[in-house]
Amino acid sequence: MGEVVLPGTAIGLKTSEGVVLASEKRLTYDGFVLSRNARKIHMITNHIGVGFAGLMGDVNFLVKVLRLEAKNYELQHGREIKTRNLAKLLSVILYSYKLAPMLTEVVVGGYDEEGPSLYILDPVGSVIEEKYVAVGSGAQLALGYIEPRYNPGLGLKEAEELAVNAVKTVIERDVLSGDGIDLVVIDENGYHSKEIIFKMTG
């Protein structure tokens, strides 16, 4: 089976203060642009977000399931699920579809009593903890930009800037990515999000 390139790009960066998730906003299918305002980063709890590349039907299904499971956990245990536990739960869900895998790669980032953490998952549920990650058609471009500039001592503001510039670099070179940036910053107090719209010149 040949490697499937999942359209779109999402990235995550971990710092000592929290986690930054970023994605571009273009939705494509079979070479056509279907939307210029697709949401690829979703908050599951107030302290855990997920970023996706891939097919939006699969993404929306997974978001619904994760929110339901996270709410269930909170009702049963009286506290929010930990980032690591949510990543493991998502791994089990993805693996259960291994015979007909979901066409999506996922970044999971969050902050809990153990501090910030960041995970990457492939379509069949392999889960790896990382300091910085990128998924989708622009992943190599994003990692090429982030790798020489990242260090674990970055502040959240610097990580935010690095994430935005990495996604901009991808948008300039990857036709499956484009049309602005969604950004989510998660720390011990919760999360805040922003949207950055810019037009390519030339």
Task: Give the model confidence (pLDDT) of 53-74 as tens digits.
Answer: 988 889 999 999 999 999 999 9
Q: CATH for 9-196? A: 3.60.20.10
pLDDT of residue 156: 95
More confident residue, 101 or 6: 101
C-alpha 196 chain-centroid distance: 16
**9 included as an active-site residue:** yes
- What pLDDT score does 83 carry? 98
CB 19 within 8 A of CB 116: yes
Q: Which of 1, 186, 4 is nearest to 105 (CA)?
A: 4
Mean pLDDT of the chain: 90
- In this model, does residue 114 exceed pLDDT 60? yes
Query: Which of 9, 15, 83, 169 does the annotation list as catalytic?
Result: 9
Question: CB under 8 Å, gap of 24 or more: what pairs does 40-43 form?
Answer: 40/8, 40/10, 40/182, 41/10, 41/182, 41/183, 41/184, 41/193, 43/184, 43/191, 43/193
- Please check the confidence at residue 79 and state whether its pLDDT lies above 60: yes
What is the arithmetic mean of pLDDT over 67-85?
97
Q: What is the mean pLDDT of residues 144-150?
A: 97
1 CB neighbour count, 10 Å cutoff: 3
Query: What mean pLDDT do residues 8-27 have?
Result: 92
Phi, psi of 197 (to 5 degrees): -105, 130
pLDDT of 176 strictly over 90: no
Question: Which residue would you say has higher pLDDT here, 15 or 138?
Answer: 15
